[in-house]
Chains A and B, each alone.
Chain A
Amino acid sequence: MTIRSRVLEALGTVYDPELDEPITSLRFVTSCDVSADGDVDVRLRLPTPQCAPNFAYLMAADARNAVRRLPEVRDITVLLEDHYTGDEINAAVGRGEAFAEAFPGETEGELDTLRELFQRKALVARQSRVCEALLAEGATEEEVVALGVADLPDDRDGRRCVELRALLRIASDAAFVRPDGEPIAAGDLRHWLRAARLVRTSLEANGGICRSLLRVRYDLEEVAA
């Protein structure tokens, strides 16, 4: 494996916090250059110049941190291009500074609460897809709520559920939990699913609009999501 492919692999672990999809599959990574000495230059782009600065900062900072962890990487530059707060974000990320330092006086705190809010939404959305698939295969509500974490499928949604649960430090072993981590009772499953499906639809529709806008903005070919 070349350094570049390891860098790309690292970038694939960086998620758009709002859409819960890797920035690589969203095509937010414009370019990734690695010099012979291990200096890395990553360029990022977003669907609009006005995408929310807080999420934009998180993606740029997360990208830098993910790549920096690779021992073979010497120096790293991450630049967010074509964004109306790109200068502030790039300067702060380049110096390894926090979000509040990128926008002095314009924040009350850091972005942990915001990130966590969207991790909870993402978990709801992922669980709803897994749950619907199980019900469609004929599982009963009692069977579904009796499942544990180890029973989650080994696919993209199942694996991401496990990751999100770890990030959110969810203690319960139940496969399906509410955003606050509490297990769902069999009698509540259908109601929970109705609301969870709305969260998922919202995330998917936003992802669709973002992909469409990025495609128009940078004149890209359509690819399968």
Chain B
Amino acid sequence: MYEHNGDKYFVMDGHVHFWDASPANWVKGQEQFAKGWIECFHAYQGLGPPDTHWPIEKFQKYSEEDFVKDVFEDGHVDVGLFLPTYLKQWYTEGFNTAERNARMAEKYPDKLIVNGRWDPREGEPGLKQLEEDAKRYGLKGVKLYTAEWHDGSRGWKLTDPESQFFLEKCQELGIKNIHVHKGPTIWPLDKDAFDVSDVDHVATNFPELNFIVEHVGLPRIEDFCFMATQEPNVYAGLAVVIGGLMHARPRFFAKVMGELLFWVGEDKMLFASDYAIWEPKWQVEGFVDWNYPADEAYSDYPALETEGKKKIMGLNAAKLYGVEVPQELQLPPEEADEPAARDDAQLVEDRA
């Protein structure tokens, strides 16, 4: 819970990690990739305020105590959502597996939610594993990383025929929340690997599932927004948008927020810190206190008031995951079901 100017915010962090990227966990022969990956993440941390930067050694592997302090104690987070990233091609025990996350979540059952994963290239054994994971962790969501390498393949799409079996399985198992992260490599390599049109297709075909596009489809915010406007079950995960822009590029951050509020709306945006890339504390405090710069350039973007911030900070995600929010942190009932104002939805018909 975060309190600011007398307003109380329920904070649900939609994207936290507990990874091990230390050299002891690097796969032999793949060291350059394992090292490159974590160094790349570390560079992203450099986009946050200087006093929140960590040395690379701590960044490679941080302790449970670090996590608890940064996320729950200092970071104001009521509930954190673990999104796993396996990358077993590069990390022996995986980078950030559901299993590793679950060991921590067991100790904080009311504060951490474990999400699973699947990869359509794993076929029948993958489906079995998903069933087992669903039972073991009580999964309500999965994180999909479409750029992950697997047996010489450099990525996959949600529209691949094999993916349909997994989406059907999710539906059957009550795994309603599908977090999708686009990455830099998807076969074939001559296509745009960040293309989000596959999310568009499956969002239409699986209306009971929610698709949370992590990092709002960065670097394809425009394609994401045009799509999210049309698909009622597509949501915007704000990880990297806040961490990567709010401090480093505040004017771009304001414009991106303005566009997201216009096209996607405050009912479908989810706060996320992407810890340990960035600590939640400065992001929570900064976002709750955020407003557009006083400048003509931002004058026709939708306003973001306290109610909207409460939704984005946690109430939207709590709804998706069925998390109980204390009465005093909920919105008054008459405001709770008000749809987001979006007066120009037909715009997509004649998109640029």
Interface residues of A (CB under 8 A from B): 18, 47-54, 84, 99-100, 103, 106-111, 113-114, 117, 121, 124, 128, 178-179, 188, 191-192, 194-199, 201-202, 204-206, 208-209, 212-213, 215-217
Residue in A103, A209, A215 whose beta carbon sits within 8 Å of that of B218 in the complex: A209
Interchain CB contact under 8 A, B219 and A202 = yes
Contact A213:B44 (CB < 8 A) given known A99-B190, A106-B189, A110-B190: yes
Interface residues in B249-266 by Cβ distance below 8 A to A read 249, 252, 255-256, 258-259, 262-263
**Using Cβ atoms and an 8 Å threshold, which residues of chain A touch B294?**
none
**Using Cβ atoms and an 8 Å threshold, which residues of chain B touch A204?**
252, 255
**Using Cβ atoms and an 8 Å threshold, which residues of chain A touch B244?**
209, 212
Interchain CB contact under 8 A, A192 and B350 = yes
Interchain CB contact under 8 A, A103 and B189 = yes
- Roughly how many angstroms separate A121 CA and B226 CA in the complex, as a whole number? 14
B: contact size bracket: 35 or more
- Roughly how many angstroms separate A103 CA and B191 CA in the complex, as a whole number? 13
Interchain CB contact under 8 A, A217 and B43 = yes
- Roughly how many angstroms separate A77 CA and B184 CA in the complex, as a whole number? 26
Contact A202:B352 (CB < 8 A) given known A209-B245, A213-B47: no
Interchain CB contact under 8 A, B39 and A49 = yes
B39-51 Cβ-contact flags toward A at 8 Å (1 or 0): 1100110110000
Residue in B188, B193, B262, B352 whose beta carbon sits within 8 Å of that of A178 in the complex: B352
B218 to chain A, nearest CB (A): 7
Interface residues of B (CB under 8 A from A): 32-33, 36-37, 39-40, 43-44, 46-47, 154, 183-185, 187-194, 218-222, 225-226, 244-245, 248-249, 252, 255-256, 258-259, 262-263, 344, 347-348, 350-352
**Using Cβ atoms and an 8 Å threshold, which residues of chain A touch B194?**
52
Interchain CB contact under 8 A, B43 and A54 = no
- Roughly how many angstroms separate A193 CA and B228 CA in the complex, as a whole number? 19
Interchain CB contact under 8 A, B221 and A205 = yes
- Roughly how many angstroms separate A218 CA and B134 CA in the complex, as a whole number? 43
Interchain CB contact under 8 A, A192 and B193 = no
B133 to chain A, nearest CB (A): 27
Q: Can you list 20 pairs linking A and B with CB atoms under 8 Å apart? A: A48-B40, A50-B183, A54-B189, A54-B190, A84-B33, A108-B188, A114-B192, A191-B344, A191-B347, A192-B350, A195-B348, A195-B350, A198-B259, A201-B258, A202-B256, A204-B255, A205-B249, A206-B218, A213-B44, A217-B43
Interchain CB contact under 8 A, B46 and A50 = no
Interchain CB contact under 8 A, B190 and A111 = yes
Interchain CB contact under 8 A, B190 and A114 = yes
Q: Which 8 A-B pairs have the closest CB atoms?
A: A216-B46, A195-B352, A202-B221, A208-B249, A206-B219, A49-B36, A107-B190, A202-B222
B53 to chain A, nearest CB (A): 9
- Roughly how many angstroms separate A132 CA and B352 CA in the complex, as a whole number? 14
Interchain CB contact under 8 A, B344 and A194 = yes
Residue in A191, A192, A202, A205 whose beta carbon sits within 8 Å of that of B245 in the complex: A205
Interchain CB contact under 8 A, A198 and B248 = no
Interchain CB contact under 8 A, A49 and B190 = no
- Roughly how many angstroms separate A48 CA and B191 CA in the complex, as a whole number? 19
Residue of chain A at shortest CB distance from B39: A49
- Roughly how many angstroms separate A100 CA and B187 CA in the complex, as a whole number? 12
B189 to chain A, nearest CB (A): 5
Residue in B183, B221, B347 whose beta carbon sits within 8 Å of that of A201 in the complex: B221
- Roughly how many angstroms separate A206 CA and B192 CA in the complex, as a whole number? 15
Contact A48:B43 (CB < 8 A) given known A179-B352, A196-B352: yes
- Roughly how many angstroms separate A192 CA and B351 CA in the complex, as a whole number? 6
Interchain CB contact under 8 A, B222 and A216 = no
Residue in A51, A100, A106, A216 whose beta carbon sits within 8 Å of that of B47 in the complex: A216
Q: Among A47, A113, A196, A213, which residue has the most Cβ atoms of chain B within 10 A?
A: A213
A133 to chain B, nearest CB (A): 12
**Using Cβ atoms and an 8 Å threshold, which residues of chain A touch B191?**
54, 108, 114
Contact A198:B190 (CB < 8 A) given known A178-B352, A209-B245: no
Interchain CB contact under 8 A, A195 and B44 = no
- Roughly how many angstroms separate A68 CA and B240 CA in the complex, as a whole number? 39
Q: Among B220, B222, B348, which residue has the most Cβ atoms of chain A within 10 A?
A: B222
Residue in A50, A52, A111 whose beta carbon sits within 8 Å of that of B40 in the complex: A50
Interchain CB contact under 8 A, B220 and A202 = yes
Interchain CB contact under 8 A, A195 and B220 = no
- Roughly how many angstroms separate A48 CA and B45 CA in the complex, as a whole number? 13
Interchain CB contact under 8 A, A194 and B184 = no
- Roughly how many angstroms separate A202 CA and B221 CA in the complex, as a whole number? 6
**Using Cβ atoms and an 8 Å threshold, which residues of chain B touch A212?**
46-47, 244, 248-249
B187 to chain A, nearest CB (A): 6
B258 to chain A, nearest CB (A): 8
**Using Cβ atoms and an 8 Å threshold, which residues of chain B touch A216?**
43, 46-47
**Using Cβ atoms and an 8 Å threshold, which residues of chain A touch B352?**
124, 128, 178-179, 192, 195-196, 198-199
B302 to chain A, nearest CB (A): 12
Interchain CB contact under 8 A, B37 and A50 = yes
A99 to chain B, nearest CB (A): 6
B139 to chain A, nearest CB (A): 28
Interchain CB contact under 8 A, B347 and A208 = no
B122 to chain A, nearest CB (A): 20
Interchain CB contact under 8 A, B32 and A201 = no
